[in-house]
Structures are given as structure tokens and as C-alpha cells.
């Protein structure tokens, strides 16, 4: 048996993977689920992340009610007061005019 060295072309195949990250930032609806899907030669795998949502809202916790009440009390005070008295005396006949007559010329 004879051994001979020859060059023979041989096809060797291998696969390469291209990974591309695409930002979506879409909020899922309540109860909505997503699963991996095939689009042509591309496998699309959704990456899900849960976010904590803090909600700020205004709530009336209580009311403060202020009512104005009127109170009356009586006190006795002592002080000096001045009084004047007028004494009128008239002689003769006195004529009284009403307002219409007093404005006449």
C-alpha cells in the first residue's frame, strides 16, 4: 500500500450570531404577556423588567371645624361721667313749621 499526500478542498461551515439590543420601553397592559417570536431569520426575545411605581395622591385625612360663638356677659364699672341739663322756657306764641314750609321763600 502506497501513501500519497494530496490537497483536497473541504467546506467547513460554522454559525455566527449577531446580537442587537433594541430599546422598546413599552408598558405592558394589565394581564398582557409577551413571548419570544421569530421574525424571518431573527429570534426576538423580549426582556421584561418589573418597576416599582410610587403614586402620589392627595387625600383628605381630617377636617378642622372652627365655629364662632357669641358670648355676652355683664359687668359693673365705676367711672366719672358728665351730664348737662337744658331748661327751655318760652314766652308768647310758638309757631311750628314742617319741612316744606321751612324751605319756602
The mean pLDDT of 23-27, rounded to a whole number, is 92
The mean pLDDT of 9-33, rounded to a whole number, is 92
What pTM value is reported for the model? 0.45
Residue-wise DSSP of 30-66:
TT-----EEETTEEE----------------------
62-93 per-position pLDDT tens digit: 989 888 889 999 888 888 888 888 877 777 77
Give domain limits for the chain. Answer: 18-58
DSSP H or E segment with residue 99: helix 99-102
Amino acid at each position: 500500500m502506497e501513501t500519497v499526500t494530496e490537497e483536497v478542498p473541504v467546506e467547513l461551515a460554522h454559525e455566527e450570531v449577531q446580537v442587537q439590543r433594541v430599546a422598546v420601553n413599552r408598558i405592558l397592559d394589565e394581564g398582557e404577556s409577551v413571548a419570544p417570536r421569530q421574525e424571518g431569520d431573527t429570534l426576538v426575545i423580549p426582556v421584561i423588567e418589573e418597576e416599582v411605581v410610587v403614586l402620589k395622591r392627595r387625600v383628605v385625612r381630617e377636617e378642622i371645624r372652627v365655629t364662632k360663638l357669641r358670648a355676652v356677659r355683664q359687668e359693673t364699672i365705676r367711672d366719672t361721667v358728665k351730664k348737662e341739663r337744658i331748661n327751655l322756657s318760652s314766652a308768647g306764641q310758638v309757631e311750628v313749621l314742617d319741612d316744606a314750609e321751612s324751605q319756602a321763600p
